[in-house]
Amino acid sequence: MTDPNINNQPPAGGQAPAYGQAPAYGQQPAYGAQGGYGQPAKWNVLAIVSFVGSLIGFSLIAAILGFVSLSQIKKTGEQGKGLAIAAVIIGLLATLGWILLIVGIVIAAANSASIYSY
């Protein structure tokens, strides 16, 4: 019984080349059923949009879009769950900050108006 790859003889028809040999011209490599590494995972575009929106100041809209994208990710299995969660957290915290700022301004304006009324 002899090895067909001795003396650089090509393998018998239909067999994959031995380890370390390049496949013959026109043949697919032997490392996968489809060849290559498969399709890259898809990202949820709404998660990306909501995260960017939360960073540039659209806080409430970004939080809402983050919740919607989390729902889509759960159904489709796409990537982007971390971005969607970050968008929800940043969006809600920024919205809370705006609310506290407005309440503080209203309280300050009410106090300053009562100071000047004799």
**Per the domain annotation, does 11 fall within a domain?**
no
**Per the domain annotation, does 94 fall within a domain?**
yes
Q: Residue 33: pLDDT above 70?
A: no
**Per the domain annotation, does 21 fall within a domain?**
no
**Per the domain annotation, does 26 fall within a domain?**
no
Q: For the ranges 30-34, 54-58, 102-106, 109-113, which has the lowest average pLDDT?
A: 30-34
**Per the domain annotation, does 27 fall within a domain?**
no
**Per the domain annotation, does 39 fall within a domain?**
no
Predicted pLDDT of residue 29: 57
Q: Residue 35: pLDDT above 60?
A: no
Based on the structure, what is the number of domains in the chain? Answer: 1
CA distances from 13 to 27, 30, 107 (A): 12, 14, 86
Domain of residue 65 covers 45-115
Q: Residue 72: pLDDT above 70?
A: yes
Mind giving me the DSSP string for 45-114?
HHHHHHHHHHHHT-HHHHHHHHHHHHHHHHHH--B-HHHHHHHHHHHHHHHHHHHHHHHHHHHHHHHHHH
Query: Whole-model pTM?
Result: 0.62
What average pLDDT does the segment 61-67 reach? 96
Q: Residue 9: pLDDT above 80?
A: no
